[in-house]
Structure 1
Amino acid sequence: MDNKDKKNISRRDFFKTMGAAGLATAGLAACAGADKDASASKGEKKPGGMTYRTNPTTGDRVSLLGYGCMRWPMRPKQGGKEGEEEVDQETVNALVDYAIAHGVNYFDTSPAYVRGLSETVTGIALSRYPRDKYFIATKMSNFSPATQTRQGSIDLYHNSMKALQVDYIDYYLLHGIGLNGMPAFEQRFVQNGILDYLAEERAAGRIRNLGFSYHGDVKVFDYLLSVHDKYKWDFVQIQLNYVDWKHASGWNTNAEYLYNELQKRGIPAVVMEPLLGGRLSNMAQHLAARLKQHRPEESVASWAFRFAGSPPGVLTVLSGMTYMEHLQDNVRTYSPLEPCTDEELALLEDTAQMILRYPSVPCTACQYCMPCPYGINIPGIFAHYNKCINEGNVPSSSQDENYRKARRAFLVGYDRSVPRLRQANHCIGCHQCEPHCPQSIKIPDEMKRIDRFVEQLKQGTL
């Protein structure tokens, strides 16, 4: 793996690195419906319709836009205590209805998402449709010791089918491969025999596609690909966006390497974090203006989604769409997809390098660090800090020209977005969150840094 090449790449080179296998494994196709037809089998697109990719193993025609069910909308719990929340099922149903009506047919969830409620909520919304109208992806999220025994993991698997109201799962993933290295992988999937059990479930037809999501130690990723002949992975989920393509940080690995390794083996890629936790849609205004200058009628986020969807070996691109306007924008981007041009690829690479010059926290709001035992809203704190960086509201000193405006914007926004009892000053440095972070963020250190900055703003000592 060579992570040193930072040069701009042409569109020809970009697609060349995808490998010829990508063209064979994921033909482009698009139409508004979900039934197979002659044009789809040839990889053609119908104007205005959702773009589809074909799974080489099963022949599934999967929508290029996949629905990530990690961030379903919440509302105050009816009859609950102050501050209690519940999932807004009516809004979830409306989002799913719009998605399916506009060609989205891949829904990705996990027993760990939305405080353990995502599978149930997603199952309620999807069960209103015929089973052949959607593909459901969920995960073996056996992170806790209780679920790492053989029976505990089997129970987790069966509970997923019960919550989702299905008798088979289309896409099943080993969740969080690479977190804490090979010892964790061995403990969660090998020593308890669960990996072999899931392979047997695939053979029995109760799992149609078996794969894994990669976060972390690349040695584990490489190992699992080395045993591809034995397990025959049907797909692999990776973090891919125009920053991580060549400039991944922390435990993340350059997506260029991950993708190419999959292509060598003809394994389709499912993309997560196309927006890098929102950083590629809420970027500094002068960077957003550069993109808007080229495509003034399109959102900044659409650039990231077009990049993520351009590699032909990508089966689907996941987006956690909490709001209808986000869903509608992403549907427009992929109905149909316009792959990035040479000029656009060069612009995005240049933009990526400029983004890396800003000292934002590489948090993707995955929530794996939550809940904090001391009630701290870790993703919320990072989101506010990054937002202020992007908007120029993090002054380096009291001598800055816009210091007063930036100071007020940061402090007022902090109290509005994160309740005071959940702010960074309550972190005691227990480090319980740190091992769970796929981005290898030193969370307690960042909490201290942000709290120190807040106190300096309050005291006027910056």
Structure 2
Amino acid sequence: MGATVGRLGFGFMRLPEIEGADGEKTIDLDTLCGMVDTFMDAGFTYFDTARGYHGGKSEAALKATVVDRYPRESFQVATKLPAWLAKDADDARAMFDTSLEQTGAGYFDNFLLHNLGEERTKLFDDFGLWGFLAEKKAEGLIRNLGFSIHDKAAVLEEVFDAHPEVDFVQLQINYADWESETVESRKCYETARARNLPVVVMEPVKGGSLVKLPDAAADVLRNADADAPLASWALRFAASLPGVLAVLSGMSTPEQVEENVRTMRAFRPLANEERAALEHVRAILDGIPTVPCTDCRYCVKECPQGVRIPAALASLNILALYGDERRAQENYDWNASDGPASSCIACGTCESVCPQHIGIVRELARAAELFEK
């Protein structure tokens, strides 16, 4: 599997919408077709979707705007199987055929086991999905098999040890999380590269938060290059890393596509002074007061209510760092809704095991008020 540096991927996660007469929002396929055309006309060909994206409608949208409109050999399709949404092994395996039907792709250039980490990793083994997907690969329905993961480097290493057959991995990498104790972007990237595995980068702009920097941080980048959009710094940081197969951007407007295409069509790796500017930005972000959660998850193990404490605290930190209400809410909905902060019974067990001595009960009350409206 050849790795190409500086390649832009179109993430079909946050798509343009229109509101119907009944008030319901649907994907704006006409606008999306134009966005796809701009992307393809610029020479970019990698599309990333998943069973659960956009309320389960993303794969069908990809069929309507890409697969049905372009020759199959002119683009690459990646999608993902979320075992954690399945009732049982049969249900999980049926998702593969559903994705084939929904996308109309005929085969998948890249197929991923979706969102490993925490207790989710075990489900893929319990349902026998690794062997099942290896069979699909042998049948020619999958060209490259990999997985996406939101977890720490030690967990990533465990998955690699258990499944050395993987062809690539999809990781959350951006300059803000590069040295994060919670995300461990750098450590995860280095773990993958030690195995000589190509990396697909997700969240390079941190769900859009890195275009909503505090003024002090944004001014650093504007002073370094007044003409460079804030998003371009994030894309170029990820694309400058050796072994990166694709840098995914979840583009939701024509303007975002046009801006990102301009950045990546004329891609140039970051120069030393540009890296220094990003380090300065990271230092500014690190200096903003946040909840000092390191995602050790001791609190989760002890919580009698199963509250997703680190996810709730992460949403509070997104607000503190970037003022990004949409992204903070999105993170909460994706990662904390099955263990909401409002379930907290204020027993204090979490606080008794927290190495950072966080007032977790107080912070969960704040998260419930902000994100459970």
Shorter-chain TM-score category?
0.7 to 0.9
Residues 141-152 of structure 1 correspond to what in structure 2 (within 5 A)?
Answer: 141-146=82-87, 149-152=88-91
Aligned equivalent of 1:214, options 127, 130, 149: 149
After TM superposition, give the deviation of residue 450 of structure 1 in Å.
Answer: 6.0
**1:26 lines up with 2:3 in the alignment:** yes
Distance 1:119 1:453 in 2: 31
After TM superposition, give the deviation of residue 145 of structure 1 in Å.
Answer: 4.2
**1:429 lines up with 2:369 in the alignment:** no
Equivalent position of 2:54 in the other structure: 114
Change (3 A) 1:198 1:451: closer
Runs (5+) with no aligned partner, structure 1: 1-23, 29-50, 52-63, 363-377, 394-412, 419-426, 432-441, 455-462
**1:102 lines up with 2:42 in the alignment:** yes
Residues 239-318 of structure 1 correspond to what in structure 2 (within 5 A)?
Answer: 239-249=172-182, 252=183, 254-318=184-248
Distance 1:331 1:360 in 2: 34
Change (3 A) 1:327 1:383: farther
Q: How big is the alpha-carbon RMSD for the aligned residues of Structure 1 and Structure 2?
A: 3.2
Q: Is the 8 A contact 2:220 2:280 kept in 1?
A: no
Distance 1:444 1:125 in 2: 46
Counterpart amino acid of 1:307?
A: F
Secondary structure, in 3 states, of the residue corresponding to 1:236? strand
Q: Is the 8 A contact 2:4 2:245 kept in 1?
A: no
Counterpart amino acid of 2:280?
A: D
Q: Is the 8 A contact 1:236 1:268 kept in 2?
A: yes
Q: Is the 8 A contact 2:290 2:317 kept in 1?
A: no
Equivalent position of 1:34 in the other structure: none
After TM superposition, give the deviation of residue 215 of structure 1 in Å.
Answer: 0.9
Equivalent position of 1:69 in the other structure: 12
Corresponding residue pairs, total: 326
Residues 314-329 of structure 1 correspond to what in structure 2 (within 5 A)?
Answer: 314-329=244-259
After TM superposition, give the deviation of residue 451 of structure 1 in Å.
Answer: 7.5
Change (3 A) 1:111 1:301: same
Secondary structure, in 3 states, of the residue corresponding to 1:334? helix
Distance 2:207 2:192 in 1: 23
Distance 2:282 2:273 in 1: 14
Q: Is the 8 A contact 2:214 2:322 kept in 1?
A: yes
**1:167 lines up with 2:97 in the alignment:** no
Aligned equivalent of 2:133, options 193, 198, 203: 198
Equivalent position of 2:299 in the other structure: none
TM-score, normalized by length of structure 1?
A: 0.64
Greater shift, 218-227 or 200-209, is seen at: 218-227
Q: Is the 8 A contact 1:177 1:220 kept in 2?
A: no
Residues 349-360 of structure 1 correspond to what in structure 2 (within 5 A)?
Answer: 349-359=279-289
Equivalent position of 1:177 in the other structure: 116
Runs (5+) with no aligned partner, structure 2: 293-310, 331-339, 345-358
Distance 2:185 2:341 in 1: 35
TM-score, normalized by length of structure 2?
A: 0.79
Equivalent position of 2:76 in the other structure: 135
